[in-house]
Amino acid sequence: MNECQIADVFQDDLLQAGWTRETFQFCVTRLEDLDDFLTETFAEPIAGLPLARFRLLWNKCQQVPTAPAPSEEQDTPVAAEGSQGWSETFAPRMATSKIRELKQAFEKAYPSELLTADNCPSTRLLSLVFKQVSAKEWRWIPWKWRLSITKHDEVVHSRTPKLAKVEHLQLHDLMCDEPPALDIANMGMHAVNTSMHVHNLAIAICRGAHLATLNTYKNRFMQLLSARFEQSSGLRAPSLQEAQQADQRLWQQVGELVTDKGWKLDDAIYEFAVLRPDMQALLQPRCKPVILAHPGNSFATSSSRKGGKAQGKGKKSAKGPAGPKRPGLNSQQWIAEVVKDGRRHTLCMQWNAGRCSMAQCNFLHACAYPKADGVACAGSHAARDHASASH
């Protein structure tokens, strides 16, 4: 119908009445009878250009060969085209009248929930959710597709316009539909909460589950995701990628209960939001990565940047004097860096202690013992042998 430029209002009426390409092909047997059929189908008379487009549509339907009847000897079931094929596409677009009907029913059921362009799900998201709810086969919807009407328009308008170059297009370029998607790489907590709220509204509008159950899932998820920990605990909250993987795993388990066990979507969501501990396990705190410094250079690096002198007030402690230490007591007083041939090099503390066994060490094998001016000796001997080496 889009190829023949049939108006949207006529398309919605035909699709809502249950007409398909195959049935419209046999609505009349002669072209002369098409005018009477259109008069009976639509309330307003059709003439002029719209009538010519309907005649063109009927003529094109006559040119499409009908599918042959299945053979009785065929035992193996054949998958219906477009329903169970290997190549999946986005859900078909819902009719405007159907979306309006669902929104009116939602506003009547939830009078305190206001649907605006900022929180109302986009037509693509509603179509996808409605398809899954109708088929009772629930699948996880990625965060990048959970767009409101405002976000959908922003993404569409921000796209770079593409020029049509048919001579360079391949078959997959013509068939592939790239729906608008969010950039979730830099999403914050507010954006994640808004995305999940739009997703909940889409399910509630399509009568898949009660909004209170969906909000219970969202609130518990956001509570675990936004948890904060003390610096000394060594723990962190899940990252954005880990949170999306957790949400995907939870909705996959919800889908298994709905599809395989015959559960209601409302009960399956409540099962994982309140009763089962899967959400707490998937969003549990993670250990922060431990940054290991090079052995023996934690003190030397800080002291070498200040001329090789230790910082302190010279006060005594339980272990002895805390003032400037004499060189040669332990490896912590060795210099970590040295300037040689006009370049700054990091000295190998393991080699200076006699413990480096690497054939190709990334650090310079030179003496790290501090001289009187606070600069490393940089001799060919180790720091532990500095006293016995000749200079």
Q: Where are the domains of the chain?
A: 8-63, 96-157+179-287, 292-311+326-391
- Of 56-60, 147-151, 248-252, where does mean pLDDT reach its minimum? 56-60
Q: pLDDT band at residue 384, thresholds of 50, 70 and 90?
A: confident
pLDDT recorded at residue 1:
65
pLDDT value of position 279:
94
302's tokens: 């800080």
Instruction: Name 364's bridge partners.
Output: 347
* CA atoms lying within 13 Å on the CB side of residue 78: 10
Report d(CA 18, CA 3) in Å as an integer.
20
Token duo for residue 107:
């506003």
Euclidean distance between CA atoms 121 and 94, whole angstroms: 13
Mean pLDDT of the chain: 77
Cα dihedral 152→153→158→160 (10° resolution): 90
Give the 3-state secondary structure of residue 266: helix
d(CA 96, CA 126): 11
Asked if residue 317 has pLDDT above 80, the reply is: no
Q: Using CA atoms in the order 37, 42, 48, 52, what is the torsion angle rounded to 10 degrees?
A: -50
Between CA 220 and CA 226 the distance in angstroms is: 10
Return the amino acid letter for 116. Answer: T
CB 94 within 8 A of CB 8: no
Structure tokens at 143: 């965060």
User: What pTM does this model have?
Assistant: 0.53
Q: What is the mean pLDDT of residues 302-329?
A: 47
User: How far is it, in rounded angstroms, from Cα 123 to Cα 149?
Assistant: 8
- Distances in whole angstroms, Cα of residue 63 to Cα of each of 20, 118, 275: 15, 45, 58
Whole-angstrom distance, CA of residue 82 vs CA of residue 171: 17
Q: Where is 151: in which H helix or E strand?
A: helix 149-158
- Choice among 107-116, 230-239, 245-254, 303-312 with the minimum mean pLDDT: 303-312
What is the CB neighbour count within 10 angstroms for residue 144? 17
pLDDT tens digit string along 256-278? 999 899 899 999 999 999 999 99
Per-residue model confidence (pLDDT) at position 293: 53
Reported as a single tens digit per residue, the pLDDT across 331-341 is 447 888 888 87
Three-class DSSP category at 339: strand
Q: Which helix (H) or strand (E) holds 174?
A: helix 171-175
Per-residue pLDDT at 372 exceeds 70: yes
pLDDT of residue 390: 78
pLDDT of residue 386: 82
When mean pLDDT is compared over 83-92, 207-216, 307-316, the highest value belongs to: 207-216
Residue type, 230: E
- Tell me how far the alpha carbon of residue 373 is from its chain's centroid: 57
Rounded CA-CA distance 368/335 in Å is: 5
Predicted confidence at residue 112, as pLDDT, reads 92
Q: Which residues of 363-389 are buried (b: 16+ CB within 10 A; e: fewer)?
A: bbbbbbbbeeeeebbbbebbbbebeee
Q: Does residue 316 or residue 94 have the better pLDDT?
A: 94
